[in-house]
Amino acid sequence: SQANLNNFIIKIIDRDIASGLHKSVRTRFPPEPNGYLHIGHAKSICLNFGIAEHYQGQCYLRFDDTNPVKEHTEFIESMKNDILWLGFHWSGEIHYSSDYFDQLYSYAIELIHKGLAYVDHLSVNQIRDYRGTLTKPGKNSPYRDRSIDTNIALFDKMRRGEFKEGSTCLRAKIDMTSPFIVMRDPVLYRIKYVDHHRTGNKWCIYPMYDFAHSICDAIEGITHSLCTLEFQDNRRLYDWVLNNISLNVYPHQYEFSRLNIEHTIISKRKLHLLVSKNVVTGWDDPRMPTIAGLRRRGYTAASILEFCRRIGITKQDNNVEISALEACIREDLNESAPRVMAVINPIKVIINNYPVGYKENIMMPNHPNKPEFGQRKVTFSREIYIDCTDFRENNCNQQYKRLILGQQVRLRYAYVIEAERVEKNEQGNITIIHCSYYKNSLNQTLDDSYKVKGVIHWVSAIDYIAAEFRFYDKLFSDHNLASTDDFNVSLNHRSLIIYHGVIETSFLPLLKSGKINYFQFEREGYFCTDSKDCSKLQPVFNRIVGLRNNWLA
Ligand code: ATP
Ligand code: MG
Ligand code: MG
């Protein structure tokens, strides 16, 4: 799918190129490796990599690894994999913010030399109290006005590990009364006695996001630094840092709205809680809005790109409906997924006037309007399975166009049958439906003597594979979770329902070849084999999405 290039950022870049400010464009995608990428990141990936493609510029992948406490190489590997899976390629080598720790440190010293940064000994809580609020100006730290030489010496002590974690930090000296709270002497460096995945124990001081991000962008020659709207105020600090160091490169930050999706949370921090509290089975649980979860659920890369194209890039915060994402995969798979019959809640049908011990092969198209998908043979026999929801003893609902006692229904691509009687167990549940079939109805247009209600799918009871079907629902019943932290209150305890059913054997060669993982199970929806749990002996399918939008209810 083509990138959606009708947005305000493209207009800005066009302007910058027309004015000669930039000859070429360089963007970056800068995830912090503290979790797995999610659908919100896909929006940012499509934007940053899409711009680079459009202008034949470059897009770097930079791991923003300035907080060693939360970062792991597992996350780095998964992020690389997910970006490639989406079909994007970063320019050149992978970059890491930690590549620039030496330079960042020397720019911090430059700020101290200019009297623009100082070592502070207030505690984290004191710093917060001194900072004030939107309605209350902050007040200066008592350590704010020590000499430059003292600060140089103290910062060196910090680096050498002579202070306790949390006891001392380096702050920018800006304005404790600024209307922008980020400008009230923000912390630039803090102490952490934690090994870093790349620099080991070389450092015990680590730079803060705003300080590191602006300088990394400038060092890398990023022209347009794109981030989400919550960083709008931080742009002042971004510019302040670059205006006060001698790097003399001035990338511009532009902000666009975050993606939020109804009934889910999109934040690595919160998704991490779902994983660590075992609400889900992992980062790639098919209910997760992570790229890995969506992939395992059966979303194709093309469907995710199409979704990002449709939502576009704006400055309006919004909460997109899940159905918008579902529509994209449904449209993709309607074109590309072969059709197969699977019965999710099987109940046995015996066709009493069909010859005992006999079976036949019925040819069926693999796609209703794409002959190039070919045909397959499906076994028909005296005993078959249909879905128990496709049968009713009595019916008073005119909308019900399936099998009813005493009435007729068409078996998909096969015969018309009529239900004659049922067998029940001691609990009164139906165990067998006895039917008769119309021998001449196979694939025929029917004359007026038939009163066929509708068409249902079926699977032969002598030629089938038992399979597990996993149906997923939203993780949360609340539709707006963007500002929620206590999501326990709204957890949907029926977000996974497992069914044990049957599927026609024609699907077995496809499963063995491993070539096709996506199917439309006729009348049920789109499914894919589960990449972790599906085996040749015990097929496991994830329902990606139903055939129609079922979220209206
Ligand atoms: P999270 O809360 O999920 O950790 P983040 O912004 O801290 O989000 P980063 O790893 O720092 O995550 O994000 C990398 C890039 O992806 C940033 O430029 C960020 O703005 C962008 N991004 C993250 N979440 C979203 C989202 N929901 N919608 C659009 N862009 C996003
Ligand atoms: Mg971040
Ligand atoms: Mg984050």
Task: Please give the distance, rounded to the nearest whole angstrom, from the Cα atom of residue 504 to the centre of ligand 2.
Answer: 48
Q: Does 2 map to a domain?
A: no
> How far is residue 126's CA from residue 135's CA, in Å, rounded to a whole number?
18
- Final residue of a domain: which of 413, 433, 456? 456
Q: Does 409 map to a domain?
A: yes
For 468, phi then psi, to 5°, come to -105, 135
Same domain? For 245 and 300 the reply is no
CATH of the domain at 176: 3.40.50.620
Tell me, what's the pLDDT at 317? 84
If DSSP codes are grouped into helix, strand and coil, which group holds residue 85? helix
Task: Please give the distance, rounded to the nearest whole angstrom, from the Cα atom of residue 41 to the centre of ligand 1.
Answer: 6
Same domain? For 255 and 305 the reply is no
Catalytic annotation, pick one of 32, 255, 504, 524:
32
Q: Does 186 map to a domain?
A: yes
Contacts of 244 (CB under 8 A, 6+ apart): 111, 114, 116
Same domain? For 215 and 234 the reply is yes
Using CA positions, which residue lies closest to atom 1 of ligand 1? 267
CATH of the domain at 421: 2.40.240.10
Tell me, what's the pLDDT at 1? 44
> How far is residue 519's CA from residue 19's CA, in Å, rounded to a whole number?
51
In a mutational test of the pocket of ligand 1, which residue from 41, 216, 255 has the highest number of ligand atoms less than 8 Å from its CB? 41
> Taking Cα atoms as reference points, which of 336, 378, 339 lies closest to residue 361?
378
Using CA positions, which residue lies closest to atom 26 of ligand 1? 40
SS3 content of the chain, % helix, strand, coil (to 5): 30, 25, 45
pLDDT digits (tens, 9 = 90+) for 401-428: 999 999 999 999 999 999 999 999 999 9
Q: Is the dihedral of CA 17, 20, 24, 30 positive or negative?
A: negative
Q: Does 370 map to a domain?
A: no
Same domain? For 171 and 78 the reply is yes
CB 3 within 8 A of CB 57: no
> Taking Cα atoms as reference points, which of 353, 351, 380, 348 lies closest to residue 364?
380
Using CA positions, which residue lies closest to atom 9 of ligand 1? 31
Same domain? For 23 and 40 the reply is yes
CB atoms within 10 A of CB 170: 26
Same domain? For 239 and 287 the reply is no
Same domain? For 247 and 321 the reply is no
Residues with CB under 6 A from ligand 1: 30-32, 40-41, 43-44, 64, 227-228, 258-259, 266-269
CB 206 within 8 A of CB 222: no
Task: Please give the distance, rounded to the nearest whole angstrom, from the Cα atom of residue 32 to the centre of ligand 2.
Answer: 6
Task: Please give the distance, rounded to the nearest whole angstrom, from the Cα atom of residue 109 to the centre of ligand 2.
Answer: 25
Residue 248 to residues 107, 226, 370, Cα–Cα distance (Å): 12, 20, 60
Per-residue b or e along 33-49, where b marks 16 or more CB atoms closer than 10 Å to that residue's CB: bbbbbbbbbbbbbbbbb
Q: Which atom of ligand 1 is nearest to the CA of 258?
A: 28
- Final residue of a domain: which of 237, 261, 285? 261
Q: Does 302 map to a domain?
A: yes
The residue assigned the tokens 């996506």 is 518
CB 137 within 8 A of CB 173: no
CATH of the domain at 319: 1.10.1160.10
Using CA positions, which residue lies closest to atom 2 of ligand 1? 267
DSSP track, 433-452 = EEEEEEGGGTTPPP-TT--E
Q: Does 408 map to a domain?
A: yes
Q: Does 368 map to a domain?
A: no
Print the SS3 string covering 291-318.
HHHHHHHCCCHHHHHHHHHHHCCCCCCE
For 271, phi then psi, to 5°, come to -65, -35
Residues of the chain with pLDDT under 70: 1-4, 481-485, 487-489, 550-553
Domain hosting 425: range is 348-362+376-456
> Taking Cα atoms as reference points, which of 234, 181, 216, 240 lies closest to residue 66?
216
For residue 92 the two structure tokens come to 């050149």
Judge whether 32 counts as a catalytic residue. yes
Task: Please give the distance, rounded to the nearest whole angstrom, from the Cα atom of residue 254 to the centre of ligand 1.
Answer: 14
> Taking Cα atoms as reference points, which of 338, 335, 313, 311 lies closest to residue 323?
311
Judge whether 28 counts as a catalytic residue. no
Contacts of 2 (CB under 8 A, 6+ apart): 309
Same domain? For 232 and 92 the reply is yes
Catalytic annotation, pick one of 258, 348, 392, 412:
258
Domain count, the chain: 3
- Final residue of a domain: which of 229, 261, 293? 261
Judge whether 268 counts as a catalytic residue. yes
Rg for the chain (alpha carbons), in Å? 31
If DSSP codes are grouped into helix, strand and coil, which group holds residue 228? strand
For 272, phi then psi, to 5°, come to -60, -40
Same domain? For 273 and 253 the reply is no
Contacts of 31 (CB under 8 A, 6+ apart): 37, 41, 63, 64, 79
Q: Does 553 map to a domain?
A: no
Strand bridging mode 95-96 / 117-120: unpaired
> Taking Cα atoms as reference points, which of 362, 500, 542, 328 lies closest to residue 441?
362
CB atoms within 10 A of CB 547: 14
Same domain? For 352 and 426 the reply is yes
Same domain? For 275 and 244 the reply is no
Tell me, what's the pLDDT at 507? 78
Same domain? For 308 and 414 the reply is no
